[in-house]
């Protein structure tokens, strides 16, 4: 049993220094939804794989596709330094788990091992029958995956290349849906390796503006809502939140809004579990999205046509500013409450467990279940099979007595209204 991790709030810059400010603005100027690859990336993720369920073959293929996509960005972006063609210290690798779908980790190596993580999750889930039913997972979380691919592309395509003081990592986790299994493996292993992780910022469900909001606005003759950056406040450190607001205010065209998930919520919770500061961004207020009757999370209806690409583009702007701003800053990691030092590296072996209220996720699940009529039917059939009422695979001898008449017959296993005759 590992000891709990001492509290270790990250140190964030108080402002963006003029040098990085200029660099970030140069990178952000050309960005529009049309200059990014959001449309093609989300289309591919949501239509080329029937589901990205973490135990499925197509879930594995989706991870391999993300890996190859990042690899192609790296090889397309060699920069000329001193006549030699080198890539900008960027690399990508698979992180394998005990199930078929790997996580994917891309890296931009800087001058120190202090690492800033931007993250999302590849897997999707159809809650009703995950092995069989489609799960496009456009908002959850193809939106986050596509945004991170774009952020990575913009950062490593910078010309001249950015000289990073710190290391950036882009995480694309497997198996968020069953309870953050992929990210648990990743951060458990980072903890054992005494990795200096400055902070982890997860982008999950960042593409949706609730439709009735728009309708209200249309009725009021006000311009369509541009959406908001939802800052999930559960377990979030104050300094972390302040820096999120600073970056959003300076580099995006939309507002931030405080929101609460009520439970561990997403993969950043795995970072917190192993002693690393974690935060979560989402589109707007989760309270508005998940409690609504038009919530399509974890169903076949979480499709690309419900996403707002200009909203995701704002998250891309945010992510570029976040990564570059922290990547070139003088940030230090506190001694993490006097954690042990081994091989000259700071760190410790520790495990906080998941925060209280982890099972609050059930609330989200029941909202999703109600959205899919086919799913409800299949659930009822499954329940009937489990209770032994229906056995479609069995031929059941039946006897029906109506007054003095006796009818004997065989029926394929729906035993609700018939009595079974035990063999003599
Ligand atoms: Zn998600």
Ligand 1 centroid to Cα of residue 405, in Å, is 60
d(CA 354, CA 272): 8
Ligand 1 centroid to Cα of residue 274, in Å, is 20
Ligand 1 centroid to Cα of residue 391, in Å, is 36
* Contact (Cβ atoms closer than 8 angstroms) between residue 27 and residue 324: yes
Ligand 1 centroid to Cα of residue 398, in Å, is 49
Token pair, residue 423, equals: 């063999």
Q: Is the pLDDT of residue 121 over 80?
A: yes
Nearby residues of 68 by Cβ (< 8 Å), 6 or more positions away: none
In this prediction, residue 179 has a pLDDT band, given cuts at 50, 70 and 90, of confident
Ligand 1 centroid to Cα of residue 123, in Å, is 8
Tens of pLDDT, residues 381-395: 788 777 776 666 655
Ligand 1 centroid to Cα of residue 138, in Å, is 10
Q: Is the pLDDT of residue 241 over 80?
A: yes
Nearby residues of 30 by Cβ (< 8 Å), 6 or more positions away: none
Ligand 1 centroid to Cα of residue 180, in Å, is 10
The torsion angles phi and psi of 394, rounded to 5 degrees, stand at -115, 145
Q: E strands, 266-382, where?
A: 278-283, 341-342, 345-346
**What would be the CATH architecture of the domain defined by 18-372?**
3-Layer(aba) Sandwich (3.40)
Ligand 1 centroid to Cα of residue 176, in Å, is 7
Ligand 1 centroid to Cα of residue 177, in Å, is 7
Predicted structure pTM score: 0.81
Ligand 1 centroid to Cα of residue 205, in Å, is 6
Ligand 1 centroid to Cα of residue 65, in Å, is 19
Ligand 1 centroid to Cα of residue 266, in Å, is 6
In whole numbers, what is the pLDDT of the chain averaged over residues? 82
Run of H or E residues at 397: strand 390-402
Tens of pLDDT, residues 348-370: 688 888 765 444 443 344 434 44
Ligand 1 centroid to Cα of residue 286, in Å, is 12
Ligand 1 centroid to Cα of residue 132, in Å, is 19
Ligand 1 centroid to Cα of residue 362, in Å, is 14
Residue 411 CB coordination number (10 Å): 15
User: Which of the pair, 374 or 208, is modelled with greater confidence?
Assistant: 208
Tens of pLDDT, residues 400-413: 566 666 666 555 55
Strand 115-121 relative to strand 197-203, pairing: parallel
Ligand 1 centroid to Cα of residue 162, in Å, is 31
Ligand 1 centroid to Cα of residue 418, in Å, is 45
* Contact (Cβ atoms closer than 8 angstroms) between residue 131 and residue 178: no
Ligand 1 centroid to Cα of residue 154, in Å, is 24
Could you give the dihedral angle defined by the CA atoms of residues 112, 115, 116 and 117, in that order, rounded to the nearest 10 degrees? Answer: 150
Picking from 77, 59, 225, 79, the residue whose alpha carbon sits closest to that of residue 145 is 59
d(CA 322, CA 119): 12
Ligand 1 centroid to Cα of residue 144, in Å, is 9
Ligand 1 centroid to Cα of residue 109, in Å, is 27
Q: Where are the domains of the chain?
A: 18-372, 388-420
d(CA 147, CA 313): 7
Angle of helix 309-327 relative to helix 238-251, nearest 10 degrees, comes to 120
* Contact (Cβ atoms closer than 8 angstroms) between residue 141 and residue 66: no
Give residue 214's pLDDT. 52
* Contact (Cβ atoms closer than 8 angstroms) between residue 324 and residue 24: yes
Q: Is the pLDDT of residue 334 over 70?
A: no
Ligand 1 centroid to Cα of residue 254, in Å, is 22
Q: Is the pLDDT of residue 224 over 50?
A: yes
Ligand 1 centroid to Cα of residue 312, in Å, is 15
d(CA 312, CA 81): 33
Residues with CB under 5 A from ligand 1 (ion): 140-141, 204
Ligand 1 centroid to Cα of residue 204, in Å, is 5
Ligand 1 centroid to Cα of residue 53, in Å, is 12
Ligand 1 centroid to Cα of residue 390, in Å, is 35
| DSSP per-residue letters across 51-116 | B--TTSHHHHHHHHHHHHHHHHHHHH--EEETTEEE--SEEEEEE--SSSPPEEEEEE--SSS-EE
**Which range, of 52-66, 292-306, 362-376, averages the lowest pLDDT?**
362-376
Q: Which residues face 398 on adjacent strands?
A: 409, 420
Ligand 1 centroid to Cα of residue 213, in Å, is 22
Residue 71 CB coordination number (10 Å): 16
Ligand 1 centroid to Cα of residue 261, in Å, is 12
Tens of pLDDT, residues 66-111: 999 999 999 876 554 443 434 468 999 999 999 999 999 999 999 9
Ligand 1 centroid to Cα of residue 368, in Å, is 13
């Amino acid at each position: 049993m590992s000891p709990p991790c001492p509290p270790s709030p990250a140190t964030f810059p108080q402002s963006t220094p003029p040098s990085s400010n200029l660099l970030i603005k140069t990178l952000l100027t050309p960005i529009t939804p049309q200059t990014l690859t959001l449309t093609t990336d989300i289309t591919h993720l949501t239509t080329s794989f029937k589901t990205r369920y973490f135990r499925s073959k197509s879930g594995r293929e989706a991870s391999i596709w993300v890996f190859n996509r990042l690899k192609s960005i790296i090889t397309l972006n060699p920069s000329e330094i001193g006549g030699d063609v080198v890539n900008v210290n960027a690399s990508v690798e698979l992180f394998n788990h005990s199930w078929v779908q790997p996580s994917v980790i891309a890296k931009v190596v800087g001058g120190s091992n202090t690492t800033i993580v931007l993250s999302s999750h590849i897997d999707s889930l159809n809650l009703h029958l995950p092995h069989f039913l489609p799960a496009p997972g456009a908002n959850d979380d193809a939106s986050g995956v596509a945004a991170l691919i774009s952020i990575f592309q913009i950062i490593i395509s910078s010309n001249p290349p950015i000289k990073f003081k710190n290391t950036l990592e882009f995480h694309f986790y497997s198996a968020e849906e069953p309870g953050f299994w992929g990210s648990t493996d990743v951060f458990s292993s980072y903890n054992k390796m005494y990795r200096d992780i400055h902070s982890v910022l997860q982008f999950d469900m960042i593409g949706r503006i609730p439709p009735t909001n728009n309708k209200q606005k249309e009725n009021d003759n006000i311009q369509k809502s541009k959406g908001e950056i939802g800052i999930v406040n559960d377990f979030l450190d104050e300094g972390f939140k302040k820096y999120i607001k600073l970056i959003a205010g300076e580099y995006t065209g939309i507002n931030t809004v405080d929101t609460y998930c009520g439970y561990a919520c997403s993969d950043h919770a795995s970072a917190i579990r192993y002693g690393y500061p974690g935060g979560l961004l989402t589109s707007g207020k989760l309270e508005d999205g998940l409690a609504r009757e038009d919530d399509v999370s974890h169903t076949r209806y979480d499709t690309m046509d419900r996403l707002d690409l200009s909203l995701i583009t704002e998250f891309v702007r945010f992510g570029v500013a976040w990564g570059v701003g922290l990547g070139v800053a003088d940030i230090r990691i506190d001694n993490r409450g006097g954690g042990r030092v081994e091989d000259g590296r700071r760190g410790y072996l520790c495990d906080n467990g998941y925060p209280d209220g982890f099972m609050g996720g059930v609330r989200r699940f029941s909202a999703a279940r109600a959205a899919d009529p086919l799913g409800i039917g299949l659930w009822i059939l499954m329940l009937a099979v489990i209770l032994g009422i229906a056995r479609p695979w069995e031929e059941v001898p039946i006897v029906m007595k109506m007054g003095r008449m006796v009818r004997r017959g065989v029926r394929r296993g729906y035993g609700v209204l018939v009595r079974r005759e035990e063999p003599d």
